[in-house]
Amino acid sequence: MKADDVRRAYAMPLSNPAYPPGPYRFFDREYVIISYRTDPDALRAVVPEPLEIAEPVVKYEFIKMPDATGFGDYTESGQVIPVRFEGKAGVYVHAMYLDDDAPIAGGREIWGFPKKLAFPKLVHEGEVIVGTLHYGSVLCSTATMAYKHEALDTDAIAEALGEPNFLVKIIPHVDATPRICELVRYRLEDIVVKEAWSGPAELELHRHVIADVARLPVLEIVSAVHFVADLTLGLGEVVHDYMASQGSDRHA
């Protein structure tokens, strides 16, 4: 293998990448998102500057992805936090747990998604949608939502999905010192929301040393939405370099 061949590589392992090049299109992506109020101090402890907390609310997500180009069929669960960046609304992706190697590797390497291997499920049980997250044998979260009680405006859901998303991408040097530490912004694109519903919901979070979703405790359920959409996961852009700004931060 020539050096030019190595320079054309886009992912690891070099001779057998874990995922194909993008873009990545998702079909029939099923969401259950439960928004809840949490402890403002706990929220401030996990949201990085220069993002600003919009309100003490967390969106807990279960997402079933049966058809994702390059990534296959998998399910994901995690927490995103409404924030503002330079005066504009968006969400900060705080934690993600999923059951498929390719999107874990691709998500972490390309964008910096905070993905960990776990065992989320989203199923329909009669008149209830049930989401569970297990890390190994331990139950970390349980969500229940009534099935299709009130139809929602699909255009409003699509508009919300189109807001910018923020991540912290971290890649160390080979000596484990920081090499890349960046705030990344990305968007979902070509969004088609096929149906959307609201209804009553409940959410329980359980303490776990690795899957620490309970670090942001549930104080009050605000709302719940259930919808199905096709969309493309857009590539990202760096909006803040923590390494480049460390000198100015130190003297601030």
As annotated, the active-site residues are 115
HEC states along the chain?
CCHHHHHCCCCCCCCCCCCCCCCEEEEEEEEEEEEEECCHHHHHCCCCCCCEECCCEEEEEEEEEEEECCCEEEEEEEEEEEEEECCEEEEEEEEEEECCHHHHHHHHHHHCCCEEECEEEEEEECCEEEEEEEECCEEEEEEEEECCCEECCHHHHHHHHCCCEEEEEEEECCCCCEEEEEEEEECEEEEEEEEEEECCEEEEECCCCCCCHHHCCCCEEEEEEEEEEEEEECCCEEEEECCCCHHHHHHC
